[in-house]
Chain A
Amino acid sequence: MLTRLGPLLTILILTGPVIFGLAGTVLPAFGFLPALGGMEFTLAHFRELFSEPAIFMSATLSLLAGLVTALVSLLAVMLFVAGFAGTRLFGRVQHLVSPLLSVPHAAAAFALAFLIAPSGMLARLVSPEITGWDRPPDLLIVNDPMGLSMMAGLVAKEIPFLLLMTLAALPQVQLHQTRMLTTSVGYGRVAGFLFGLWPAVYRQIRLPVFAVIAFASSLVDVAMILGPTRPAPLAARLLVWMNDPDLSMRYLASAGALLQLAVTALALLAWLGLERFGAALCRQAAMRGRRFRRDAMLRAGALAVMVLAAGVVFAGLGTLAVWSFAGLWQFPDALPSTFTLKSWMTTLPRILEPLQTTLLAGLLSTFIASILAILCLAHEDETGGRPGRGALTLLYLPLLVPQVAFIFGLQLFLIYAGVLATLPALVLAHLVFVMPYAYLALKDPWHAFDRRYDWLAAGLGKRRARRFFSVRLPMMARSILTMAAIGFAISVGLYLPTVLAGAGRLTTITSEAVALSSGGNGRVIGVYAFWQMLLPIAGFAVATLVPALIFRRFRGMQV
């Protein structure tokens, strides 16, 4: 049966690269790399790693980035949902924040950088009138040694992700009734939600939270744009070693990748501790019957963080757009004195190839992931089973293992297979990360589909393929295209898998943009960031407009 292939291939795609990739990092870390003559077990590479300057500082930065990012964004989302779920304002903020999800991490990081840098938009707006600056002050705001701006950039990106995951979990709890109940016995909005509903909601979003920790503790692109440099977070340093033309650096890089794995594992362990602490705190307050009725400040704070996260990124993206058309733009002018298309014209010739690669890798990986997701869900329908905890954890596997730890090892296999820097390798590397999101995005709409339509069509004598193409596919066109748009946006934003599978020869808009970050040329970065934004938006536009156009005659198909 065709649908059997769905779960089978999906599991293969989710686990294969992770397992082989990890093997490809673990073995060289202990000195085993036959291609380079490494045949003996040794700990020398770890000794070398630990004698690298400030390596523990790098590791600590990564650990803290993971924990702080997850904590801040989860608290913001939790308090916001607790304070506002079910209100009109909630819907508005949700619509404001959701589009952020499709903005690639690198673009969001650039947006923040060009907003808060000493020569950034904020400084320009208040200079020289308030600050008296007539040239950019010598302040280390971006790339600050504690990584605060890096964490801020991450928080702005993880908030929409966690919000969306929380929204998906909300229908499974009795929001309205529980709210009425807790309010009627005198609890404040936030406390009532936290005591009555949050445990059930949190259980649903635990894996996404873990994914945030794993991602933030091992991030590369945001760290390269916003992060500290002396020392840089661990994963960013690893990438430098991995790209070193001296192949013997692979040993060091592999040992470092294992350290990264340990750092992320430690961050997750620490989080488990935090979870217990938080739960105990909540339980105690609940058992004492603390009502926390005066929570207006708390709610306002959560709302402010949500709006700020969206506002900062959008304002920054706006700034970048202005930069891309800027002619002469002196500090502290708030706007360029001349506008020109020059940046667009000069970048055009070298942007075409990355653009083409971005589109191809994005469309192909999304197409494959969509088909597999559909096959998996169809298979669930047939067997009547829903994936259990184990299967769901498997789905999150590529998101829970730090990318640097396994993609680097996977690169080794790509080299052996002679496919490094080819489109199939790039598509595979992207597929590993697009697949989970494709499945997660389609799961709920698929299960919400009224299966009686399918039975009815079978009763009319239609075979399975016909039922799918004539009934299910058109009726679910919007959901399926939305899933594809999400997958495509994920693919467009991928940095590390692109750099490692493309080996610098096959580049995408995102990998090129991040490579430009050290140059700090606002005009060129503006053009690249603009493209990074434009592609996902185009995807979502197609997902909305195409079904609306095809089914414009049918009222029952409108949302």
Chain B
Amino acid sequence: MSEKGLFLEGVRIALGGRMLVELTHHVPPGEVLTVMGPSGSGKSSLLAYLAGFLDPAFTASGRALVDGIEITALPAEERLAGMLFQDPLLFPHMSVAGNLMFAVPQGIKGRTERRRRADIALGDVDLDGMADRDPATLSGGQKARVALARVLLSQPRMLLLDEPFSKLDMELRQQMRLLVFGKARERGLPVLLVTHDEADADAAGGEIVRIGA
């Protein structure tokens, strides 16, 4: 039996007695599960649940495993759930390199080595030479790519995407989709994408679950 990938086992999320999400699913490494639904349908709650930040007002049961490890039993900081949001959310008080070095796992010691990894990651998203920039001076597309590089640097177990393309321009949007899904496939990361944009789902190419319809 293959244990690779993200397993959602009987995940149920309810708010005040109203069932929002009921889901059992397997997302193989490098593939994308797209969860679609109108706003308020609980799709963001599903991400919050997996990341470990579900508001206490919600009740949740079931469990989630990645590569055989039950992440829902772990504290948020040990789940290594890499997240991308609508906004790039680069830390405004750190340079681009600072943002990236912050993400390099703790186990990797030494400033030079951490910086080297940050530079490589930056090169991977075609932003060589941007390391010392103030994130506020980057364009929207550049910020999105730094955010992607940052999350990949942290060696996540999976990616949780919360409509990460919705605020980008049309042309950029397709570029970013290809980049994000490509990197996930390259690294064999299971991806959970919530969106209400059909084009996102098409680009993701994986299975689609509709909730709250």
On A, residues with C-beta under 8 Å from B are 383-385, 450-453, 455-464, 467, 470-471, 474-475, 551, 553-557
Contact = CB atoms under 8 A, between A and B. Distances in A.
Interface in B60-102: 76-83, 85, 87, 89, 91-95, 102
B80 A461 contact: yes
A458 B51 contact: yes
B93 A458 contact: no
A384 B57 contact: yes
A556 B136 contact: yes
Interface in B134-172: 134-137, 150-151, 154, 156, 160
Contact of A459 (B55, B93, B106, B154): B154
Given A450-B89, A455-B76, 10 more contacts: A455-B53, A456-B85, A456-B89, A458-B53, A458-B77, A458-B79, A462-B77, A474-B93, A556-B92, A557-B93
Interface of B: 48, 51-53, 55-57, 76-83, 85, 87, 89, 91-95, 102-103, 105-106, 134-137, 150-151, 154, 156, 160
Contacts of A457: 102
Contacts of B106: 461
Contacts of B150: 460
A285 B150 CA distance: 61
A555 B51 contact: no
Contacts of B134: 553-556
Query: Which among A459, A471, A553 has the greatest number of chain B C-beta atoms within 10 A?
Result: A459
A459 B80 CA distance: 5
B85 A384 contact: no
B137 A555 contact: yes
Contact of B81 (A384, A450, A459, A464): A459
Contacts of B160: 459
Contacts of A450: 89
Nearest to A551: B93
Per DSSP, are chain A's interface residues mostly helix, strand or loop, or mixed?
helix
20 contacts: A450-B89, A452-B85, A455-B53, A456-B83, A458-B79, A459-B51, A459-B79, A459-B160, A460-B82, A461-B77, A461-B78, A462-B102, A470-B102, A475-B92, A554-B94, A554-B134, A555-B137, A556-B92, A556-B134, A557-B92
A464 B52 CA distance: 13
A453 B106 CA distance: 19
A241 B92 CA distance: 57
A455 B83 contact: yes
Contacts of A461: 77-78, 80, 105-106, 154
A273 B83 CA distance: 55
A556 B56 contact: no
Contacts of A471: 91
B91 A459 contact: no
Given A383-B56, A452-B85, A458-B53, A475 B93 contact: yes
A470 B94 CA distance: 10
A460 B154 contact: yes
A467 B76 CA distance: 12
Contact of A384 (B55, B92, B103, B105): B55
A458 B76 contact: yes
A460 B137 CA distance: 23
A480 to B, nearest CB: 13
Contacts of A383: 56
A479 to B, nearest CB: 13
Which 5 pairs of residues, A with B, have the shortest CB-CB distance?
Answer: A556-B92, A555-B136, A556-B136, A384-B56, A458-B76
Nearest to A451: B53
A551 B91 CA distance: 12
Contacts of A456: 83, 85, 89
Nearest to A454: B53
Contacts of A385: 56
A42 B195 CA distance: 75
A554 B136 contact: yes
A453 B85 CA distance: 10
A26 B102 CA distance: 58
| Most chain B C-beta atoms within 10 Å of own C-beta, residue among A451, A467, A555 | A555
A31 to B, nearest CB: 51
A474 B92 CA distance: 9
A238 to B, nearest CB: 47
A384 B106 CA distance: 30
Given A384-B55, A384-B57, A554-B136, A459 B92 contact: no
B97 to A, nearest CB: 12
B91 A453 contact: yes
Contacts of B103: 460
A464 B77 contact: yes
Contacts of B78: 461
A386 to B, nearest CB: 11
A475 B51 contact: no
Contacts of A475: 91-93
Contacts of B79: 458-459
A450 B85 CA distance: 12
Nearest to B135: A556
Contacts of B83: 452, 455-456, 459
B93 A455 contact: no
A228 B137 CA distance: 61
B51 to A, nearest CB: 6
A546 to B, nearest CB: 13
Contact of B151 (A460, A554, A555, A556): A460
B45 to A, nearest CB: 13
A458 B160 CA distance: 13
A457 B79 CA distance: 12
A467 B151 CA distance: 15
A303 to B, nearest CB: 38
A453 B94 CA distance: 13
A197 to B, nearest CB: 28
A19 B6 CA distance: 56
A455 B81 CA distance: 9
Nearest to A553: B134
A2 to B, nearest CB: 15
Contacts of B102: 457, 460, 462, 470
Contacts of B77: 458, 461-464, 467
Nearest to B83: A459
Nearest to B81: A459
